[in-house]
Amino acid sequence: MSLINYIQKYDAEPSQREKALIPRPAVDYIIKALRTYHHQVGKFPENFVELETRVWRHPHPPKFADEGRGISMHNYYYIYALAEPGVCALWAIPVNKREEGSTFFLTIAPEWVRRWKGAPLSFDEIKRLPYVSTAAQLAVLGLTELSAIQAQPPPNYRKPSGPSN
């Protein structure tokens, strides 16, 4: 391999440090944890701190922001909120190499997830984000709804029995 080819090859490859800055969304990991919490407790948590205490139980818990509603993970910043009884909302906003990631907004219920996806938001847009957004607000931000995902019950899940009709 000539010196020029060698330089071009290794100059074009991102370094390990650069790769470490690329945002990798962990929304499925968070959805699974939220649903596990809901299955155990019968409601969604108030914040990420409750999720950490009951489900994640990291040996070294992450640092939470915004009264436990914010967490940084894999170069994404997540904002969590309860939207209404039985429904929560999650923002996933890329940080560091922001241009390499997408912005996500999700509404999550035990039976379904609605996802919106768009380009990284500007810092000005991020400052003004509501915890829970309407479809119209998401459209203004350039987020497009993806197809809805129906939940599969967890293994060994038995539907609660109620009075017969």
Residue ranges of domains in the chain: 15-150
Give the model confidence (pLDDT) of 131-152 as tens digits: 999 999 999 999 999 986 655 5
List all residues 6 or more positions away from 99 whose beta carbon is below 8 Å from its beta carbon.
120
CA-to-CA separations, 129 to 5, 112, 146, 154, in angstroms, rounded = 47, 23, 20, 33
Give the model confidence (pLDDT) of 31-52 as tens digits: 999 999 999 999 999 999 999 9
Rounded distance between C-alpha atoms, residue 139 and residue 146, angstroms: 12
pLDDT range class, residue 162, cuts 50, 70, 90: very low
Backbone angles phi, psi at 127, to 5 degrees: -60, -30
Strands (E), 3-162: 64-65, 70-73, 76-84, 87-94, 103-108, 112-118, 144-145, 149-150
